[in-house]
Amino acid sequence: MENKRNYHTRQQEAVAEYFRLNPDVCATADDIYLYFMREKGKIGKATIYRCLDRMVENGEVKRFLSDGGDGAMYQLIDPANGCDRHFHLKCTSCGRVIHLDCGFMAAFEKHIVGHHGFRVDNTRTIIYGLCETCAAAQ
Amino acid sequence: MENKRNYHTRQQEAVAEYFRLNPDVCATADDIYLYFMREKGKIGKATIYRCLDRMVENGEVKRFLSDGGDGAMYQLIDPANGCDRHFHLKCTSCGRVIHLDCGFMAAFEKHIVGHHGFRVDNTRTIIYGLCETCAAAQ
DNA sequence: TTGATTGCAAACAATTTGCAATACT
DNA sequence: AGTATTGCAAATTGTTTGCAATCAA
């Protein structure tokens, strides 16, 4: 079924590169646009959006919406790093993302599915709060 | 300080009423707009947004961004119901929200702050996944 | 009367879309 | 050659803002 060939382009490669270089960062389409303009030359914004759509569809990148309302954020789903399995904590103050790979989480998910019949999707879920540093700074 | 009087209007009352009638629903500004038009007559959209802003500011309502990108969602923070304390699970298929008031969650938060130094903010956090019904239907 | 709130229309910002030009294989 | 991808500009969509009219106190 669905057999659409996949052409390899300069633009796509650059977007992939951006994520490779910034595996922990939540980037906006604009961040990537600016990266391209700075390092690689000109690009159309629509192209960025289309690349990102493709990557989200392929499960390479996760798309979510920031609290701020400044638009969507994209982040690499690094399977080598277990990003498809673990939770992400995001600090609402400094924006840092913590990858939560921890046995307790498995218990957490098991509890939720067992007691509440709810199957957590951790590729979509982001837990907001304050990281240690920012909490201390307050 | 800050002593801005608060006038009571037909429009504000209707928005509050909407939330009172739908304490569990995540509504868009447009949902509320349509509710008003249907039940109460005409209203400007800007007014809806301004009412909602006010309520968010007062901590009566929570604002968050849906996955779909269809815009912001608003939901009553019902203190009588502990919505300021417990987690919310949202089904990505049917949109239903489950209020998770459960001892395990306290343990969860304690674990995260203890082992990962992260202070969870459950007024902002929404856990996505599939509810029992939708999971069964697949 | 005083100041907050409304409604409209215009302004905005992020994203999407149509389509002809271009690049990949 | 044949088709996916790009770039531009125009169109959409959700939200915000300026301002005069209106309404609550």
| Mean pLDDT, range A85-98, rounded to an integer | 84
Domain B78-138 fold is: Dna Ligase; domain 1 (3.30.1490)
Residues of chain A contacting B72 with CB distance shorter than 8 Å: 69
Name the residue among B118, B128, B131 with its Cβ closest to that of A117. B131
Mind giving me the DSSP string for A40-87? T----HHHHHHHHHHHHHTTSEEEEE-TT-S-EEEEE--GGGTTTTSE
Compute the C-alpha angle B7/B8/B10, nearest 5°: 135
Partner-chain residue, chosen from B108, B124, B131, that has the shortest CB–CB distance to A118? B131
Q: What are the sequence ranges of the domains in chain A?
A: 1-77, 78-138
**Secondary structure class of A6 (helix, strand, coil):** coil
Through-space separation of residue A3 CA and nucleotide D2 C1' in angstroms: 15
- When CB atoms are compared, the residue of B64, B112, B128 closest to A125 is B128
Give the pLDDT confidence score for residue A78 in this predicted structure.
84
Query: Cβ-count burial of B52 within 10 angstroms (0-12 exposed, 13-18 middle, 19+ buried)?
Result: buried
Q: How high is the pLDDT of residue A26? A: 87
Look at phi and psi of residue B120 and say left if phi exceeds 0, alpha if psi is from -120 to 50, else beta: beta
Extract long-range pairs of A72-81: CB within 8 Å, 24+ residues apart: A72/A28, A72/A29, A72/B69, A73/A26, A73/A27, A73/A28, A74/A19, A74/A26, A74/A27, A74/A28, A74/A29, A74/A32, A75/A19, A75/A25, A75/A26, A75/A27, A76/A19, A76/A20, A76/A22, A76/A23, A77/A123, A78/A23, A81/A23
**Residue where the block lists tokens 């629903």:** B25
Helix (H) or strand (E) holding B129: strand B126-130
Say which DSSP state B42 is in: -
Determine the Cα–Cα distance for residues A59 and A36; give it in Å rounded to an integer: 22
Judge: domain B1-77, CATH 1.10.10.10. yes
For B64-81, write each residue's pLDDT tens digit: 876 666 789 898 988 777
A14 Cβ within 7 A of any nucleic strand C atom: no
Question: Which position has the higher pLDDT, A70 or B68?
Answer: A70
pLDDT value of position B1? 47
**Mean pLDDT over residues B103-117, rounded?**
88
The residue among A97, A118, A125, A138 with the most chain B CBs within 10 A of its CB, best to mutate, is A118
Task: State which amino acid sits at residue A37.
Answer: M
Please tell me if residue B131 touches chain A, with a CB cutoff of 8 Å. Answer: yes
pLDDT tens for each residue of B3-61: 566 899 999 999 999 999 998 788 999 999 999 999 999 999 999 999 999 999 998 99
How many Å apart are A38 CA and D20 C1'? 46
